Structure formats: C-alpha cells, structure tokens
Amino acid sequence: MSLFKEIVERSPFGVIVIDKNSKEVIYTNPTFRKWKINERKGFLEKLLNSPRGELEIDGHHYRVSHFTEGDKEIFLLEDITDLKTYQRAKRDFVANVSHELKTPISVIGSIAETLFYEEEDPFKKRFLERILKRAKEMEALVEDLLILAALESKEGKVIWDKVNLHNLVEEVFQNLKEVAEEKKVELLNEVPPETYCTCDEHKIFILLKNLVENAIKYNREGGKVWVRSYPEGEYRVIEVSDTGIGIPKKHLPLIFERFYRVDKSRSREIRGTGLGLSIVKHIALIHGGKVEVESEKGKGSTFRVYIPLKGSPTKEPPKGG
C-alpha cells in the first residue's frame, strides 16, 4: 500500500471520492464507512449541495471540504458534532444567565433610583448615584447579551420585508434624540424619502441604533452624524458617518470583536458594553451582507453596511463568533 493510501485509510477525516460524470461513489475510507452515512437516502445530493461547507445528517454535523482531481470529486468530512454541541451549550448558558440577571438588576436599579431622588444627605446621595450608574451599565450589558443570544438562536432568522429606510432612520433618531441633545450632536437623515430596502426591519433597526449611538457617543460636542443610503453593485449600502474622535488604524480590524473597546481609560467615561459592533456585524452577516469601516483619528468615522439588493432566503446564522 502506498504511503498516501495508508494515511487516507487511517485518517480521522471521512473521505469519499465520486465520479464527476456518473456521480457514482468510487472510494470511501474506513472512517467514512464507520459513519454509515452513505446509506442515508438523498445523502449524495445533500453532500453535493452542502451550504457553507457544512452538512447535517441525523443530528450529526460535518464540516465538508471539496476539491476536484481529473474526473474525480473528492470530499473530506470532519465530524464536528461535539463542537456544535459545545457551542450550543455555551450559547444557552450565556442566554440563561443573562435572562436570570435581568430582573434582579432592574429591581436594584429602580430601588436605587427611588432612594436617590429622596435622599438629602449629599454623601449618601453620591453613593446612590454610583449604584444607579452601575446598575444601568449592567442592564445595558444584559440587554446586549440577550440580543446576541436571540440573534444566534432560531429568533435570529431574517424576516424579509420591504422596509422604508428613510422612516426607519427617523425612528432611530427619535429613539436617540436625548442622547444626541445631551451631547449637542446634530443628526441628519440624508436617506431620500422613498428609499426601500429588503431586510428584517427590527434587526436593521437594532443595527442602525448601535451605529448611530456610537456616532453620537464618540463624537465631539457640536458634531454631526449623517445617515445615507445608495445602491452599489448588488448591494444597498447604508452609511453612518460622524465628525467624531475616529479610530486609530491598528484597532480597526478588532472593533467588531465582542467586548473590544478602543481606549480603555477613555471608554470608562463613555459608557458602553463593547458588544454593539459585534451585534452590527452579526446582523449584516445573517442578511448575507457585510460591514466595513473607514476612519481617521480626530476627523471621524464612516461605517458602511451592505445588504444584498435581492433579499435572499433565510440563511443560517454565521458560524462561531
């Protein structure tokens, strides 16, 4: 037996070789045969059409890579059922903990708030103010974790709809009016009135709220925020620009990571969870789109969200992350 054949025979990957023309199975290695999946009805079609390089058969998950050699199609399958189970357990755990924390935290917040307004001793009042502030931070964190958990669960399915973007932006501005007024930031809706986007209205609302909130928070006093939208190639672009502090180049690839915040000391003054942009990215991805950022330190930032012009059928939530 040749060395390569020996490796393939002992590989923990399942290997299956198919004749390109007749679609007949020419070879399977022992690992593949052990799984007994080629006995399943419709297995070959499933394999040939496995989306995103993944395949699910009878509750087992396989990562599939594929290449062609002459008139042979070779598939390598890796059993990732354990990984999937672990990911689901982690996701459920975070969701359950967040859910359990939600009520007690909001109770602490409202008690602290009541006491704060009734307290006359300035010393005690200061402590109550700090309790209240921290409770609000925890509340925001739990809320973001629950949004992420929902996006990763079945609720994360995109519900496609024809959405009036101009009106949606108006709604987001209305929602953030006080934050903008406090910071003296002007909000400009430059999306033309009859602009429509095929997307999930509620999810794009959350996405825009996060981007506009950032554009306000990381702005200067008297600054501006613009939202624009235009078609580009096969996408509709939604753009949020600001005249804010900008983001240094080296941080740009990292800001979409969970809990990543650029300036730790500065970020302590500006409240946030570090989860907003990972929510934004996730929502863009489940729409079959993407998000890009352009920024110059001290000048401002522009975030561009690309949503496919033709609403596509519901996609699985993206892997990992």
Ligand X SMILES: Nc1ncnc2c1ncn2[C@@H]1O[C@H](COP(=O)(O)OP(=O)(O)O)[C@@H](O)[C@H]1O
Residues that bind ligand X (CB under 6 A): 210, 214-215, 218, 242, 244-247, 255, 260-263, 267, 272-277, 301
Rg (C-alpha) for the chain, rounded Å, is: 25
- Which x/- pattern over 247-286 shows residues binding Mg ion (rule: CB under 5 A)? -------------------------x---x----------
Residue nearer to ligand X on the CB measure, 200 or 242:
242
> Which CB atom, from 77 or from 149, has the smaller least distance to ligand X?
149
CB of 95 to ligand X, least distance (A): 19
**Helix or strand or coil: residue 282?**
helix
Task: Please choose which of ligand X, Mg ion, none residue 317 contacts, taking the beta carbon within 5 to 8 angstroms, the exact cut-off set by kind.
Answer: none
Residue 320 pairs in a beta bridge with none
> Least distance to ligand X from the beta carbon of 175, Å?
16
| 37 interface partner picked from Mg ion, ligand X, none, CB below 5 to 8 A per type | none
Least gap, CB of 303 to Mg ion (angstroms): 11
Burial (CB count within 10 angstroms: exposed 0-12, middle 13-18, buried 19+), residue 74 = middle
Residue nearest to Mg ion (CB): 276
How many residues bind Mg ion (CB under 5 A)? The answer is: 3
Q: φ, ψ for residue 92 (rounded to 5)?
A: -65, -40
Minimum CB distance to ligand X smaller for 72 or for 271: 271
Query: By C-alpha distance, which of 56, 65, 62, 71 is closest to 18?
Result: 71
256: amino acid identity, one letter: F
**Closest separation in Å from C-beta 262 to Mg ion:** 11
Q: How far is the CB of 295 from ligand X (least distance, A)?
A: 7
Two tokens, residue 79: 């059993």
Name the residue nearer to ligand X (CB basis): 274 or 321. Answer: 274
Q: Distance between CA atoms of 163 and 229, rounded to whole angstroms?
A: 13
What residues have CB less than 8 Å from 190, skipping those under 6 apart?
A: 226, 227, 228
Residue 135's binding partner, choosing from Mg ion, ligand X, none, with beta-carbon cut-off 5 to 8 A by kind?
none
Give the nearer residue to ligand X in terms of CB position, either 119 or 186.
186
Site for Mg ion in 178-237 (CB under 5 A): 214
Q: Which is nearer to Mg ion, 64 or 176 (CB)?
A: 176
Provide the minimum distance between the beta carbon of 259 and ligand X in the complex, in angstroms, as a whole number. 8
Q: If we measure between CA atoms, which residue out of 67, 83, 81 comes closest to residue 16?
A: 67
Q: How far is CA 140 from CA 25, 98, 144, 166, 209, in A?
A: 54, 11, 6, 27, 14
| Amino acid letter, residue 22 | S
Q: What is d(CA 310, CA 95) in angstroms, rounded to the nearest whole number?
A: 32
Binding site for Mg ion (CB under 5 A): 214, 272, 276
